Amino acid sequence: MKRKLLCTLLVLVTFYCNAQTALNGTVKNANGEIVTLIYRPFLRGSLNPLGFTSMGTQISKEGNFTFKSDKILDGAEYYIIFKDKNITGLVMFEGDNVNLNFDVNKPGETLFATGKGAGKINMMHLPQFDDEFMEDMTPTEYAAYLDSLSSAKLALLDAVYKKEKNNEVIINAANRGVLERIINESPLSDKEYDFLKSVISLQKFEIGAFLEYKSEEMEGKLIDFSDPVYKPFNVSEYKKITNVNNCYPAYIVYLILRVEYLKSLKGKELYYENWYKYVSEEDFIKWEEKFLNENFTPEVCDRYYSEFFSWLVSMGQPYDKYSKQLDYLQNNANSESYQKSIDFIKLMETALTDKKYNLGDSSKQLDKQKLEAILEKYKNKKNVLLVFWSAEFAGSSILNQIPSLQHLEKEKDLQIVYIGIDKAELKNLWAARIIDNNWKGEHYFMPIEGNEDSLKKFSSDDIYAFCDGGATFTVITKNNTVLNKVENSYQLAAGKIKKYL
């Protein structure tokens, strides 16, 4: 399992400004593919504090594309999706002007970036930075493995940053040519070097994730915080973390908090197999505010709470019950993250009465009969793509895929119908998602209550499910052939749609 797969959760300190950031592409074998630029938050679906929304564009005949935005979150991770492939790990700084060069058929093997901010991207895509999750190791072995990895990465980073082409770590590397190319064509700036160095220094904390993963295997074994594997968890180290916009450092903060909470349960015999049971969310929330304030910078506390609150809001959760976070934000936070959440709450209160979108109209709410009537309207006239999505459980992931569909609507005689599937009480969240993302199109809402059987015609998936559902896609051709579970919308670009229509 790649280390990157672990990184699905929290955030980093930022200096907000309106610097224009550009991500360009020079692509081989493009064939008119659509590329979509997506922001990767720590917590799934949470709101981008600067209001960044996914962008999609078609690669030109010459193989070029460009994305520009003044809403890039400094140090955050982005990725692009195209065809059935993607390029992840695109860490961007405000004001970057990066050009990605790659072959659309084998992006991983061919990617090389040039321009301002390219060095960090090239370094993070080196095989030396692509770690394995060694699940067969013992905790002691894994801790030593992490130390070894960090040392090797720092040695390589220093050599590249100092342009030491004769350093042994470069001379002896199998990809020596690539390393020399980074030195010559995308040398690291001081800011890039500091960022990469800070990320590498956090790797030792991954032992927390490993211990959680192995906890059930260590049944009957007491948790002993004097064990050397817990050495990284030293409160004197935590104020060195200064930026949690990127999901990896944010995830490390999450791991630190989980371990430190267990350490705070003094006087109890703690066994590894109960690792998860010991973490009572209610008690954890009460504890974490004090610990964060005492041991992390104010900026990290602010961003951590803001991101968590944003996630609750964007999931339609009863965020008011998390009074500790809410009180902290109202009394202390001074960030655009928090303000974005407040704006979204206000939007949820007004979205169904917005006259521009008219989403509260009774014609926008479907049952089985109304759904069939919509499909009958296009029968023998247009191909139809039905996009079933959950505002609560697909959230940003489905919205992020939509830009590529604009091309298909224009070129393939295709009508796209978007149907939100959620509990009736979350209709306002559905409407807010659409308006917040300025999501144009034919939108309907279908409450999950009472309509389960209607959906089975189009998918065996439980769309209304946290991990396994979220969205599904169905194509209905002009001759009324129903094709269920087709590829996600970002994969239905250019020539691929032809096999369906």
Residues of the chain with CATH 2.60.40: 3-116
State the CB neighbour count (10 A cutoff) for residue 88.
17
Contact 254, 23 (CB under 8 A): no
Residues of the chain with CATH 3.40.30.10: 362-499
Task: Give the strand pairing for 414-422 and 383-389.
Answer: parallel
Q: If pLDDT is split at 50, 70 and 90, which confidence band does 166 have?
A: very high
Query: Residues 100-126: pLDDT tens digits?
Result: 999 999 999 999 999 999 999 999 999
Element (H, E) at 110: helix 107-110
pTM for this structure? 0.85
Report how far residue 141's alpha carbon sits from residue 290's, in angstroms, rounded to the nearest whole number.
33
pLDDT at 258: 93
Range list of β-strands (E), 8-165: 21-28, 34-40, 55-58, 64-69, 77-82, 85-91, 97-103, 112-116
Report how far residue 434's alpha carbon sits from residue 31's, in angstroms, rounded to the nearest whole number.
31
Query: Residues 410-464: pLDDT tens digits?
Result: 776 788 899 998 889 999 999 998 998 888 889 999 998 888 777 777 776 666 5
Sign of the torsion formed by the C-alpha atoms of 396, 401, 402 and 403? positive
State the CB neighbour count (10 A cutoff) for residue 115.
17
- CA quadruple 295, 10, 334, 94: dihedral, nearest 10: 110
Specify the CATH class of 362-499 in words. Answer: alpha beta
pLDDT at 3: 38
Task: Give the strand pairing for 55-58 and 34-40.
Answer: antiparallel
Q: If pLDDT is split at 50, 70 and 90, which confidence band does 486 have?
A: confident
pLDDT at 335: 72
CATH code assigned to 3-116:
2.60.40
